[in-house]
Structures are given as C-alpha cells and as structure tokens.
Amino acid sequence: MRTQAIALAALVVLVFTLPACGQADLSKPLEGPVPPSGAAPLATGWKAVQVVDGLEHPWSIAWLPDGQALITERPGQLRVLRADGSLDPQPIAGVPEVLNNRQGGLLDVVLHPEFGEDENRWVYLSYAHGTANANHTRIARGRLVDHGLQDVEVLFRASPDKTQGFHFGCRMVFLPDGTLLATIGEGNKMQPAQDMGTHLGKVVRIRDDGTPATDNPFHARVDALQEIYSYGHRNPQGMAIHPVTDKVYATEHGPRGGDELNLVEPGNNYGWPLATYGYHYHGPRVSEHTELPGMVDPLINWTPVIAASGLAFYTGDKFPHWTGDLFAGGLAIKQVRRIDFADDHETILGQETLEFDHRIRDVRMGPDGYLYVLTDEPNGKLLRIEPR
C-alpha cells in the first residue's frame, strides 16, 4: 500500500507540474540509472531472404505443427502460409470483427501450448474492438477446423473503453504453467497505467479459458482487477520467454526517448508515466523523474527510440553464436537489435544491429532453426534470416 500511495502522490505532482516543464533538448538524453542506448555496431554474416510478400500490414506469425503458419494482417485477415512458402489467397473464415483504426486491428496470434494434441485446435487472437471513440483490447479463441475458426469465444475484454486508436499493446505468450500473459497499452492516456482499477497500461495473466489466474499478485485486493500481473506500462508490443530461465522479457514504446526492455515479474510497477526517460511529442519532459522508490528500472533505455515491436530469443542452430540472445524489432529505425546475453542467461553484454529497408513489426523463431521477421507496410513481407 505504501508503494501505491507513493505512486498516486507522484502522479498528482506530475499532472500539475507538466505545463511548467521546459522544452526538450533532445541532443541530451535524460540522465538516470540506466544510460541511453544509442547506435549499435552492425551484425555481420547474415542476409535476409524473402519468403513471401503481399501481406497487408502483417502483425504476427504462428507456426502450425504441419509446417504451415498463421499470419495476422492488421485490417482483420488471418492468412495461411503454406508449407511450400506460398500464401493461400483465401483468408481464414470466422475471425472476430476488429476495429481497424490507426494502430488497432487484428494483432497477435498464438497457439494453445497443447495445440495438435488430443484434438486441441485452439488458436488465440488479440485485437482492437469497438469504435474510434469507444474501443478496447480483446482476446478471443477459436478452434481451427479446415479453413476456418469454430466455437469462437471472447475470453478477455480490457476495461474501460478508451477513445482513439492508439496503444493497444496486444502481445501474448503462454507461460510454462499454461496461463496466458497479454500486454495491454494505456490507450495514450498515461495516468491509467498506475490505476489498479483499470486494465490499461498493464500486463494481464489469465487461464486458457479466460478466467483470472487465482495466484495473480493482486487477486485478493478489492481495489485491483484480478487479471493484473504487472503495471506501469505504456505500450508493450514485444514479449518473449527465456528458453532456459523461463523469465519474461518485454519491450515497450516510449514517447520521444525511453523505449524500454523490461524483465516482467509479478506485482512490479514499471513506472510509466511517473518515472520515464521520455519526452512528450510536443517538447517537455513527461516526468521530472527517471526513477522512483518502488518502481523497477528498465534493463535497456533506448534513446533515441527504436519503436520496439516483436521480440524473440534465438534457439536455432544456424547461428550458434546467437544462441540464447534476444532479438527486438524496430519500426522507426528499420532494424532488429540483437541483445547479447552472457552465459549466466541474465547479464546483457551489448547490442548489435541488423539493418533492413523496412519497418520491422514482428520477430519470431521458426521451427526450422531460422529467425523470421515481418515488415509493416501495405505490401508486407515475411523475411528469413540466413547465414551469408
């Protein structure tokens, strides 16, 4: 409760002091315990090979056991990439109606951990729903049968509705215990990220049927929503589980400065908007603080921003020196950042840059040992990273 009181008090100060803040000097990143991470050396020994194009703003990909893959397109289509690398011209039927507005649409897709076993065919989708003036993030699931989704049911609805088509979050991962983590953006509203009575600006954890996990950190608190796993997030759009430690890592967008890589743990407050390295788009600092008691510092502070989206650990055999490293997509800088982990699986040794000619929306490990990326554009592409 003391941490919550500190957060609320700091929020009041933030709201009433922001207009007096000076204009940003973006050539001088904000000082704090986590130094800014700027340009990184170029990675060598790799090349990008196009697998397929013709995707309309693709957002996520999930491989099926038969070698095919499902790819979401933001306007609302769920596409099938055949095992031979060709794109099925017919989208999957039965996909829920989505709000295709600005950053909203059909976003992430993941398979149930037991997909393909004992007739389990559950596919999970996260998406924006509603209207431009009243919308929210949803999670639904349906059974993939032939070329359509059946028995579609909405499992989770972020509360409350928000206005505008910004900051939906929407990345999902299944934990080893079978529960589902999902990121929920704060809707470009800032303050709700610290409000435990809203899902906005949170990571939530639910069972595979949509009910809250009963061991969530705030499950017993009457002033908090039961699904909340962590809070103080802005707009996390990358999330991945370490293949050895099972720890959860997430990337999230800052405003001007302050994109973050975080180690997401239950009950933690990650600071937004009370502690941040970011500036408002119109100039002043978001907050006078880059750290506060009871709030967790990021592992990486990307300033200038990379516009982080998509995150994957490399577990293949095509690049042995990449094994166990983390790869973060960058929209604004048209890059993927390789985050080099030490042999202790925790210490970050440095970063390298994989440069592209496209905005990178998603980064995924393929079942064939290669790393794949999706590009964010009207004629989006799936690219495979191969040794040069």
Output the average pLDDT for the chain: 94
288-321 tens-digit pLDDT: 999 999 999 999 999 999 999 999 999 999 999 9
- Concerning whether 167 is annotated as a catalytic residue, the answer is yes
Q: Are 193 and 235 in contact (CB under 8 A)?
A: no
- The C-alpha atoms of residue 77 and residue 245 are separated, in whole angstroms, by 35
334-378 tens-digit pLDDT: 999 999 999 999 999 999 999 999 999 999 999 999 999 999 999
pLDDT, mean of residues 113-136: 97
What is the structure's pLDDT at 2? 42
162-181 tens-digit pLDDT: 999 999 999 999 999 999 99
- The C-alpha atoms of residue 263 and residue 239 are separated, in whole angstroms, by 10
pLDDT, mean of residues 176-197: 98
- The C-alpha atoms of residue 214 and residue 255 are separated, in whole angstroms, by 34
Q: What SS3 state is found at 331? A: coil
- The C-alpha atoms of residue 151 and residue 186 are separated, in whole angstroms, by 30
In the set 57, 129, 167, 233, the catalytic residue is 167
Q: What is the CATH number of domain 2-17+59-307?
A: 2.120.10.30
Q: Are 251 and 260 in contact (CB under 8 A)?
A: yes
pLDDT, mean of residues 192-208: 98
What is the structure's pLDDT at 69? 98
Provide the pLDDT confidence category of residue 15 given band limits of 50, 70 and 90.
very low
Domain boundaries defined on the chain? 2-17+59-307
Asked if residue 20 has pLDDT above 90, the reply is no
DSSP string, 93-138: BTPPP---STT-SEEEEEE-TTTTSTT--EEEEEEEEEETTEEEEE
What is the structure's pLDDT at 29? 87
Kindly report whether the global pTM for this prediction surpasses the value 0.85: yes
Asked if residue 27 has pLDDT above 90, the reply is no
